[in-house]
A and B are shown apart, each in its own frame.
Chain A
């Protein structure tokens, strides 16, 4: 009972759960245990049902199934089919009821004893009644069998004589078509086209051949061969045909047809006679090798011939190196160059750019395209040679015509300076000259000797006679008046300086707290240093005392300068001997000029020497100062900054910062830190006399100084004198400055500043807000006037200068036309490459089978040109080409949000309301508008121009309309890109927008 109950339970559970899960929309499943406890009574009834149904069916099906189950529920008693007497007697078997083998002991073999021991074969013996009967035939393995055909020999041969005539020739076999059932290699599908007669002056384009043989069938592979020795085309072509995959023999048929057509004739094209054969057993290789061998033989023959000629003509030694064409000599200017043959270039359609790219690592100065080929000009022979040895025959450039790399061979043309070349020509001429008699030869030699002597004489005269006389003529002793005048001037100057120095000292003693040179000192320091002037206060006093002498030396130095090279003076040397020499000379000069002065000079000579010594001391001092300053500067300035960099700056920013010189780097510190430590510059705070001297620049200043130095009113104190002088100087400066400013204003602007823009009430701020009309902006925005010239938004002035100088250099090196054409060709090639790329993409798309957004995007972005935006002369911002762009080239896509017409109208209104005056809405068609106002590419910056350089085209890419800007004409680098907005004509004059494009044919209005 217990067992059964459990069994039921289990079965019930199983069924219940199945039921549960299968019944549709049944009650929530419960925890198994609780469910069982609750539903047990019900479960029993269910069990009965189940027993009726035997297996579980879904409810519906169970209902339809009547219950005929009784027999199936009980397993039937096992029946033994072979429970017959015959079986039981005869056979042994396994009795499942008894569970044992019956007749186990009497088991017998099935095989009868009658069967032959050595094996047997059952053969069909034909019985007399004609029916075959299987017979058992004993095998006798020891017996050797006989050829069954030997039996036939006994039979009599047929005596029938054939009435057929013997064949006169072999039977013609039908051509077996190569199909999918064929085995073995496919029939040859290539043809070789090779020349038997070549026109040396002509060439055949690969395309010609390809096109012609394309008529026989679809070409899958086309190859042309070059002579490996000289890279010249051999005009041997291997053409492989192909066909549709279902017609396997189509390629062969094409090849056969082609070969058959020219079986007995030749294929003639532009002076060439070609043989066309089927390429069997790699015949092409043999043909090519043969032709190459022929060429080699020919070349050898030619060389022999040339050698023979050379032997006849001994003058030119060795094989003549290729010469530069005459017309290039001026451009090359005797520099070494590598030559690339025209043939290679023309055959493969190579461009200068290819070489430029490939040879970028070499220091060539330029590449010149010439009728005879390319000349790669180097500045240095070693560079040229290096390039030659490394790259000749090794450099490969992809052929533009044949899609395969081509080895480039260079020929080195040793540069010679034009002068040398001319000299060489001359010497050649000399050599050529023949002298009939000995006397003539002697004469010629004598002439040469005389020429040499004459030259030597000339040199001697220059050196020994003319030189000294010129020196004498320049001797200042000869011009006493001039010297006297100069002395006077000096005196005046000195006096003035003395006064200035004194007043300065006074002033400084009064106001030491204001220290100008703490911040702005280094300039002065440098000056002082360069002049070798003392700079401490102590010395200043001594200088003031005997300032006359001291300054005289400086002035003398100045005076001596123009003639210094003649008089062998070192004006800046501080060695006592040199200075003494100088002093001596000064003394003599002065003595001849003025005797009174002479006295004074003698008087002061000793003091001067002292000064000189002092000067040296001071110099060393100041150098020490400088060293100290450098040390201080570096330590003080860097430490706080490095800290800030550590914490504040990200690595990228830090890098950017590092580019900026330390002086200008910003710091974030609690209080402003001075860049230059103040105390070190203290010694420089006083104005030296040099500064005052520098202030005097022209006659006018000088006159003024003269007046001051000879003041009519002697009663004035020094300070008053200084005041007067400074006032005078200031007035003069004022006047000059004003003139300068006015000149500058018109200079920087090129156009006079519009009067209406000038502030009536005084200054800009006092004028208050005033809207500047766009038209007037031209008079103060320089970029407005330089039409189509970009203005860098952020420009580093030094960098800009460098770049401009560089570009200038480049420009000057290249002839204008040359660059232009080459760039355009290159862009055309680019387009071809892009097109290929596009085809690839399309192929890719075909494989993928669906429109991929990524791929369509790539198509347009791939062809995009490098452009940038900057302030424009036409309107706020403009788009500029960074590279030259060829006509019809795609430039950029106009990217923005795609809107429906009503949305666009609404947006236009809101933008106007918000004050976004510029419209970036671009109509694609009646229904759609592209809005680049908030989200869009930089193409939106392109301005309108009545004479545009570009045009906007609406093209379909992957089923979507897109706006793409194309170049209308060739556009130079840095030129502003413009297109015609093609606005609808506005009837209301108020609504019309003025056009500022500045084109000659400007319509004046956008709409």
Chain B
């Protein structure tokens, strides 16, 4: 039996002015970066040192993303811009083009492209080398809140929007390859269930989708079918897009774990194969919504809206 063990609190909730919405473990597993208002805060996991990198954003950023070489961070801000910041040298590019707050950013695995989505219902693809805008994909009719690119395949891009649609795009041509939705999903009292998060599995075959009714689904997006559904059993219409992620344990034989934060500060872990609840971490985040969950190796970092950030490790308890 394996489960998460509390490792450390990287950051305490201090009741700061700025809400915290994004915490990401760097691809090399050395650092954790948070959005702290307009600044980026980087915690080194090993040395436990903290660096604060100011950015030129005029408004707080919603999301950040590590470049695959763990050298740069892209931040998506409410001032409609994205800034790529090198953690040593400072700002590299300011990507200007969105006409509404940017909601999420994601580097491709090569690091040469950056995809961003925004409240202006569009997804933009940028060239990180020149800072130029390559493509605009406008195919949603409500704010696009989440995008993801598979780890080893930068040819596709998935997006989730408040209009209830999950779309798969071809990054090269910008064509929509697939739209994931089905009528059953729409049979809600309020009409459409907004999508809050999308996340590809590591093998790039499945897509984990979280919608604002608190249900997580694993889609086989090629066939357009839901293969697993996880219900956290909470309120039906959530407000915050709480974080979620896949955790792949070191032991190959074990199934990947779906880790999902809830609005009342809990973290629920499911076995992605059996749909059993493996662990339910409660009363750690003081009833504050868990805004982001980021897994890397056996590490898991959870961040709640009040600024508390905890680091967990997946260990065998046997």
Contact = CB atoms under 8 A, between A and B. Distances in A.
B261 to A, nearest CB: 13
Given A795-B136, A796-B135, A766 B305 contact: yes
Contact of A516 (B71, B80, B137, B240): B71
A763 B112 contact: no
A736 to B, nearest CB: 9
Interface in B83-106: 86-89, 92, 94, 96-97, 99-103
A762 B62 CA distance: 9
B11 interface: no
A409 interface: no
B180 interface: no
Interface in A754-800: 757-759, 761-766, 768-769, 771-772, 780-782, 791, 793-797
Nearest to B263: A768
Interface stretch (A339-347, A357-365, A385-393, A659-667): A659-667
| Interface of B (DSSP majority class) | loop
Interface stretch (A305-313, A517-525, A986-994): A517-525
Interface residues of A, number: 66
B155 interface: yes
B110 A763 contact: no
B252 interface: no
Contacts of B172: 656-657, 660, 664-666
A456 interface: no
B138 interface: yes
A65 interface: no
Nearest to A520: B92
Contacts of B156: 666
Nearest to B184: A914
Interface in B169-201: 171-175, 183, 186-188, 190-192, 194, 196
Given A762-B19, A763-B19, A664 B78 contact: no
B89 to A, nearest CB: 5
B281 interface: no
A797 B134 contact: yes
A768 B135 contact: no
Interface string B142-158: 11010000001111100
Contacts of A758: 78
B255 interface: no
Contact of A765 (B58, B62, B67, B130): B62
A522 B94 CA distance: 18
Nearest to B103: A764
B56 interface: yes
A670 interface: yes
A742 B58 contact: yes
Interface in B241-266: 241
B53 to A, nearest CB: 12
A762 B36 CA distance: 10
Contacts of B159: none
Contacts of B119: 757, 764, 772, 780
A651 to B, nearest CB: 15
Contact of A772 (B89, B113, B142, B192): B142
Interface stretch (A605-613, A745-753, A885-893, A947-955): A745-753
Contact of B138 (A666, A674, A772, A791): A791
A516 B88 contact: yes
B239 A915 contact: no
A794 B173 contact: yes
A420 interface: no
A733 interface: yes
B226 interface: no
B110 A674 contact: yes
B126 to A, nearest CB: 11
Nearest to A745: B80
A794 B135 contact: yes
Contacts of A781: 99-100, 120-121
B271 interface: no
B277 interface: no
A772 B58 contact: no
Interface string A478-497: 00000000000000000000
B79 A745 contact: yes
Interface string A860-875: 0000000000010000
B81 to A, nearest CB: 6
B32 interface: no
Interface residues of B, number: 91
Contacts of B54: 730
B168 interface: no
A673 interface: yes
A86 interface: no
A341 B122 CA distance: 55
A553 B256 CA distance: 63
A476 B113 CA distance: 51
Contacts of A794: 135-137, 173-175
A630 to B, nearest CB: 16
Nearest to A759: B78
Contact of A519 (B69, B88, B186, B194): B69
B143 A666 contact: no
Contact of B62 (A523, A766, A916): A766
Interface string A893-919: 000000000000000000001111100
B311 interface: no
A915 B163 CA distance: 10
Contacts of B308: none
A523 B92 CA distance: 11
A673 B110 contact: yes
Contacts of A519: 67, 69, 71-72, 111, 128-129
B278 interface: no
A762 B60 contact: yes
A763 B240 contact: no
Interface string B292-304: 0000000000000
Given A664-B134, A675-B112, A796-B135, A765 B22 contact: yes
A766 B288 CA distance: 11
A522 B162 contact: no
A672 interface: yes
B291 interface: yes
Nearest to B163: A876
A90 B147 CA distance: 125
Most B CB within 10 A of own CB, among A657, A871, A914: A914
A790 to B, nearest CB: 11
B71 A514 contact: yes
B310 interface: no
A523 B130 contact: yes
A916 B141 CA distance: 13
Contacts of B102: 764
B45 interface: no
Given A741-B58, A793-B139, A797-B135, A768 B240 contact: yes
Interface of B: 17-22, 35, 37, 54, 56, 58-63, 67-69, 71-72, 77-81, 86-89, 92, 94, 96-97, 99-103, 108-113, 119-121, 127-130, 133-139, 141-143, 145, 152-156, 162, 164, 171-175, 183, 186-188, 190-192, 194, 196, 212, 238-241, 291, 305
13 contacts: A519-B129, A656-B172, A663-B127, A671-B109, A675-B112, A741-B58, A745-B79, A757-B100, A764-B78, A794-B136, A796-B135, A914-B183, A915-B190
Interface of A: 511, 514-516, 518-520, 522-523, 656-657, 660, 663-675, 730, 733-734, 737-738, 741-742, 744-745, 748-749, 753, 757-759, 761-766, 768-769, 771-772, 780-782, 791, 793-797, 871, 876, 913-917
Closest 7 CB pairs of A and B: A915-B191, A666-B155, A766-B19, A768-B239, A780-B100, A765-B21, A672-B109
Given A762-B17, A766-B60, 19 more contacts: A514-B87, A515-B71, A519-B67, A519-B69, A657-B172, A660-B172, A666-B108, A666-B156, A671-B152, A672-B110, A741-B80, A742-B58, A761-B19, A763-B59, A763-B61, A769-B212, A769-B239, A915-B190, A916-B186
